[in-house]
Structure 1
Amino acid sequence: MSARLLGKVALVTGAASGIGAATARLFAAHGAHVFGLDRNPSPERADNPAHLIADVTDAESIGVAVARILGQHGRIDVLVNNAGADVFSEPLSLSDADWERCLSLNLKGAWNMARAVLPSMLEQGAGSIVNIASVHGHKIIPGAFPYPVAKHGLIGLTRSLGIEYAARGIRVNSISPGLILVPRIEAWFASQPDPEAARRVQTELLPPKRIGTPEEVAHTALFLASDEARFINATDILIDGGRSQLYHE
């Protein structure tokens, strides 16, 4: 395996499971010094990726985590903003607390992280930020409000920051996964009256007739984080097997 991130320092949020965990492992396998950040403990016990406990909605804990990384390595080359959570509701039934929770976890958290690492990236004149958005940032699914609001905002944040700092060596891109076999999706299948039937229905909706894996998202994040993507900026990449391109089902 080639070391595409050899010697780089990477910070991955939401790293305790799913896409975040797959990304942290892959980055480490490609030579990066990886710090996984999550409000939950990591089930894995390894030095690389190292695991930090922090909440992306808590600027103080983020500051402590970023200061620790900078104290050890003096730089942060890559940030992957993966932390987030589904918040779905009928719009007029949505509480103010759930509205705030959705935007805080899925949009403001990414800005909190970017704001914490950007000063050091700007000082070194280089850096790559990869935001994990969603197909919900491109297509609207009834019953999923207000999650698409936050993910549209995250893609807007990606483009805005990417253009703002492009001339200073910073690239900001995003990835929009579709249906991916992460723990919360597996849990949703398990909660259905007929889990296998529910899985078949979702699988048949996808052009490749299979559901995506966290590793497939991680490999795209690896590319965007690497110097191979050095002329890619302010761009979003869909990873949904082509599902969002269908005019009708």
Structure 2
Amino acid sequence: MTSEQIFDKCVEIYEILNDNNKETEAKRGLFYLLDEIQDKALYPPILNHLIRQFGLYPYMNQSTSILEDRFLLECFKTNIGEDEPKVLHREQSRVLKRLLSNDSLILSAPTSFGKSFIIDALIAIKKPKNILIIVPTISLLDEIRRRLVKKFYDYKIITTTQQTDLENNNIFIFSPERAVEYFLFIRKENIKLDFFIVDEFYKISKEYENERFAPLQNAILKYTNISSQRYYVCPNIDKINNKNSILCEGMEFE
């Protein structure tokens, strides 16, 4: 696309955005435009500013942005445990801010939201001593272990119930079944959790009742009382049907 074509398309998207109740349509047009351009080096300042309007800061090209937009990008750069900070988008930053303020949240967000960035940023910034992450499958457990072990060298990563030699800082990553089994050791050692994370929390709802339903509920019930802060993650759903149960007590739906 030529610079003139990009400019005209940005103006068209701005006009759609300024029409009430058409943000979704405008965002769709923006993504079509970004897909058509492909090369981020070709983004003109007007396109970077348009991306900013949607809060999609990681998509911006800092080198071709105006000074105001470059400054904003710096503000949204966050330590996620890597050599270089990452730019979070507006909604990621909003959730992270609430977690850093000690809120306990049930987050509903699509798969592409970047929930792992929020967890990594929270660990890097807040440095909790003991963290428990419950995941639905062993393959996901191993994926998270490999991601965290590369970033957080000062934490011991524990994934099996046979690991009982703890350090000052520990990250427990368990399936629901392993979490229930390990609770006996946790209680015996009088260990408190600074942060308790549950992935795919929506599976406590009765419509998802299967062989994993009971272990997940059991694990949440056991660990809730020894956790200072909780963060439960779901895919993009409208609500938690049993949000008034003890499983969600003291938590806010985001």
TM-score bracket for the superposition, by shorter chain length:
0.3 to 0.5
**Computing the radius of gyration over CA atoms, which structure comes out larger, 1 or 2?**
2
Task: Provide the TM-score with structure 2 as the length reference.
Answer: 0.35
